[in-house]
């Protein structure tokens, strides 16, 4: 089972970035616990602050992985290119948001990726990533 986790802009600052919204754990710390919990899963992790690099990574993993867990961060609300990339690949994508984007500013309710994804998890903190993994592990 190969699962790719892809994080968009500013998520490299998790742990220090607005901890009230995003928590105080770095993603690297969280990933270690996830890898320990699911030793049979082969995880890859990619983070970028650059839209085109996120498109490139989706294309790279999108034909041979079993699942992609994607938090496009602010690009969720702006990026037609990331939405198109999800539609163009074969691997199913689950969109994850740490915060509840529906309970925040109006512009965060718009997603250019949701309609292309298998599903969306928002507002459950970092646990959202694990729940997406659990879905892929139990998917047909
Ligand atoms: C986010 C929500 C986005 O609106 C925001 O731009 C982010 C993080 C989340 O995980 O809650 O950077 O995707």
CATH of domain 2-138: 3.40.50.9100
Please count the other Cβ atoms lying within 10 Å of the Cβ belonging to residue 2. 15
3-state DSSP assignment of residue 17: coil
* Nearest atom, ligand 1, residue 11 CA: 12
Ligand 1 neighbours, Cβ below 6 Å, are 10, 71, 73-74, 76, 97-99, 101, 108
Beta-carbon neighbour count of residue 73 at 10 Å?
20
pLDDT at res. 84: 98
> pLDDT value at position 114?
98
Give the pLDDT of the chain (140 residues) as one tens digit per residue.
999 999 999 999 999 999 999 999 999 999 999 999 999 999 999 999 999 999 999 999 999 999 999 999 999 999 999 999 999 999 999 999 999 999 999 999 999 999 999 999 999 999 999 999 999 999 87
Whether the full predicted model's pTM is greater than 0.95, yes or no, is yes
- What is the reported pLDDT for 7? 98
In angstroms, the CA 19 to CA 17 distance is: 6
| pLDDT value at residue 24 | 93
Per-residue confidence (pLDDT) for residue 111, from 0 to 100: 97
**According to the model, what pLDDT value does residue 139 have?**
84
Predicted local confidence at residue 10, as pLDDT: 98
**SS3 breakdown of the chain: % helix, strand, coil, rounded to 5?**
45, 20, 35
- Whole-number Å distance, alpha carbon 77 to ligand 1 midpoint, is 9
- Domains of the chain by residue range: 2-138
Distance of alpha carbon 64 from alpha carbon 6, whole angstroms? 15
Atom of ligand 1 nearest to the CA of 108: 4
For the chain, helix (H) and strand (E) counts, in that order, are 5, 5
**What is residue 85's predicted lDDT score, i.e. its pLDDT?**
98
Catalytic residue among 22, 30, 75, 129: 22
Whose CA is closest to 4, among 83, 70, 73? Answer: 70
């Amino acid at each position: 089972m190969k699962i790719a986790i892809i994080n968009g802009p500013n998520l490299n600052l998790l742990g220090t970035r607005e901890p009230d919204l995003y928590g105080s754990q770095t993603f690297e710390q969280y990933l270690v616990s996830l890898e320990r919990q699911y030793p049979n899963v082969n995880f890859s992790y990619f983070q970028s602050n650059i839209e085109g690099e996120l498109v490139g990574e989706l294309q790279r993993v999108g034909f041979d992985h079993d699942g992609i867990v994607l938090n496009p961060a602010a690009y969720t609300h702006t990026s037609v290119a990331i939405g198109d990339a999800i539609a163009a690949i074969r691997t199913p994508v689950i969109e994850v948001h740490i915060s509840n984007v529906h309970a925040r500013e109006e512009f965060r309710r718009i997603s250019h990726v949701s309609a292309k994804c298998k599903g969306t998890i928002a507002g459950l903190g970092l646990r959202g990533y694990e729940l997406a993994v659990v879905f892929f592990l139990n998917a047909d």
